[in-house]
Amino acid sequence: MKAQEEEKTQVDIDRIAKNAIEKVKPRATEKNIDITLQTDLTGQKAIAGELLEQAFTNILENAIQHSEGDKIQVERKTTDKNVVYTIEDNGKGIPDSQKELIFDRKFTTDSGRGTGLGLFLVKTLLKTYGGDIEVTDSKLGGAEFNITLQKQRKTKNNN
């Protein structure tokens, strides 16, 4: 399924984040990395699609593989129009010179293993959903990825 062909709908972004964390926890445990979800799981809805869980999983796997830290923190915030999930770690971070490049097609820091498509596809997918992703420095010391998606629209049927 191509990102452009995926149907946008209202998804439970909290469930998606929790499922992605559960999927990567065994690998995190092997590397002595603690993943914490610092959000009350209230079933927050956002506009996205089925591939969103894979996008979350990709970002978490990158944090496990590259951070060299021992902590990954996941948190959700909401604004009037958007849901923002933050995934941050206490590792080595991403040099400023690479922050925009990591979302480019074929960019990889691990030419022996990586294809350089992961974060490119994540960004493309999120744009398809009307969302975005950006990377900054984390208050924990490593990298911070902010995933922004549109909130569920209120209608007469869902108040």
**In this model, does residue 111 exceed pLDDT 60?**
no
What sign has the CA pseudo-torsion 17, 18, 23, 28? positive
**In this model, does residue 22 exceed pLDDT 50?**
yes
Rounded Cα gap, residues 9 and 17, in angstroms: 16
pTM: 0.87
Q: If you write DSSP's letter for every residue of 29-93 in order, what string do you get?
A: HHTT-EEEE-S-----EEEE-TTHHHHHHHHHHHHHHH--SSEEEEEEEE-SSEEEEEEEESSS-
What does the domain layout of the chain look like in residue ranges? 3-150
CB 85 within 8 A of CB 76: yes
Q: Which of 109-118, 128-137, 150-159 has the highest mean pLDDT?
A: 128-137
**Assigned CATH class of 3-150:** alpha beta
Rounded Cα gap, residues 12 and 15, in angstroms: 5
Element (H, E) at 15: helix 13-30
